[in-house]
Amino acid sequence: MTGQMSFAECWAALARIGREPVGGGYHRFAWTPTDRSLRSWFRDQAARRDLSLEADRNGNLWAWWGDPGAGAVVTGSHLDSVPGGGAFDGPLGVVSSFYAIDEMRRRGVTPSRPIAVVDFADEEGARFGVACMGSRLMTGILAPDRARALRDADGTSLGDAMTAAGVDAAAIGRDDQALDRIGTFVELHVEQGRSLVDLGAAVGVASAIWPHGRWRCSFTGEPNHAGTTRLGDRRDPMLPFAAAVLAAREFAESNDAVATIGKVVVDPGAVNGIASRVDAWLDTRAPDDATVQTVLSGVTDAAERAADRHGVTVEVVQESYTPEVAFADDLRDRVSRLLDAAPQLPTGAGHDAGILSAFVPSTMLFVRNPTGISHSPAEHAEIDDCLAGVTALATVLTDLSIR
């Protein structure tokens, strides 16, 4: 009835899936063959523990200990990654959830509520642009028509990608049945910073998630020859794009926020040609919504002014927005007390727990990351800290499930 393999062995098996051949990062995009392998891994882990497996209407996977039903204590995270991502962001929460169930069984716990491990689909939004897709669809925050129409870099729609992966894309959308069963949601996650290192603690509890959003900034100019086009005749979209990158940094600095342009697509992308179009994605986060808007306005104004100067048009479209999440005080404090006054910390990273917190009591545990780095192969957690996370999660799930 245990996982039959140790945490470290299970981790090593999962670590083989979706690893990039060069650089040691992970490329685990939603609804790809790699994603299918990750889902098979999840099914196998559920089967090893006699947990019943269920896929909901939005492609999220659930492994149930006990009959699925109301008041369930749900734990889990996601298995997908950003391009060049680390091994821990997402998978640590899923693996730890399975091992927390093993630990509860070892302790002889008899839950009086059903317990489920969930693997939320497409949390990073790396392929179709909108993060937390599985939880946004389930809660109805994202309209199914809009989701189905999102396209990846090759022009494949999310609807078609889901259909190809065997999910009925016509049925996606708000899923009250799945949502209403969740009594409490607990997500364990690797810390994406160094607060726990500084505090000397292996495990912490999330207090809040900064509001954050993604905007696509599209600059359209005129393609032309790099050698023969006089500077004064050019309509080069790269110039206002560059102004936007610099403005993002400047306005983030002056507003105690963060702003990043980490993805850019240049068309047609010739060394000896002026680009016709540049698409750049702005990610902005701050302690409050007003500051996010201030940074966004600053970047937009700077981009528009530069676009005007260079005969380029610019369009800024919001792709997703998540308002501030303040996790419920009573649950957060209870969890912290259960874990010997585990420290409470806010984060600038988005999570499915943040989406769910507007609908059901939700909480998060963070596990120390000695590098503090995330969305990179350098993301890390020591095995002893991972095991401390499992122990902590088992304690929290036990408390919530015997109430």
Which residue, 234 or 380, is less far from ligand GLV as judged by CB? 380
Binding site for ligand GLV (CB under 6 A): 124, 131, 349-350
Least spacing, CB of residue 367 vs ligand GLV, in Å: 15
Q: Report if residue 25 touches Mn ion, rule: CB under 5 A.
A: no
How many H-runs (helices) and E-runs (strands) does the chain carry?
A: 13, 15
90 binding partner (options ligand GLV, Mn ion, none; Cβ < 5 to 8 Å by kind) = Mn ion
* Separation of alpha carbons 279 and 267, rounded Å: 8
Structure tokens at 104: 């509860």
* Separation of alpha carbons 137 and 144, rounded Å: 7
| Composition of the chain by helix, strand, coil, percent to 5 | 35, 25, 40
The three-class DSSP label of residue 66 is: coil
Least spacing, CB of residue 306 vs ligand GLV, in Å: 27
Which residue, 89 or 191, is less far from Mn ion as judged by CB? 89
Pair 78, 370: CB distance under 8 Å: no
Which residue, 167 or 190, is less far from ligand GLV as judged by CB? 190
159 binding partner (options Mn ion, ligand GLV, none; Cβ < 5 to 8 Å by kind) = none
Query: Which of 18, 25, 90, 129 lies at the binding interface for Mn ion (CB under 5 A)?
Result: 90
131 binding partner (options Mn ion, ligand GLV, none; Cβ < 5 to 8 Å by kind) = ligand GLV
Q: Report if residue 89 touches Mn ion, rule: CB under 5 A.
A: yes
258-267/277-285 β-pairing: antiparallel
Q: Report if residue 86 touches Mn ion, rule: CB under 5 A.
A: no
Least spacing, CB of residue 280 vs ligand GLV, in Å: 16
Which residue, 124 or 187, is less far from ligand GLV as judged by CB? 124
211 binding partner (options ligand GLV, Mn ion, none; Cβ < 5 to 8 Å by kind) = none
- 217: which strand partners? 280, 316
Which residue, 34 or 320, is less far from ligand GLV as judged by CB? 320
| Continuous segment of H or E residues that includes residue 262 | strand 258-267
Which residue, 258 or 278, is less far from Mn ion as judged by CB? 258
CB-side exposure of 227: number of CA atoms within 13 Å?
2
- 98 DSSP 8-state letter: H
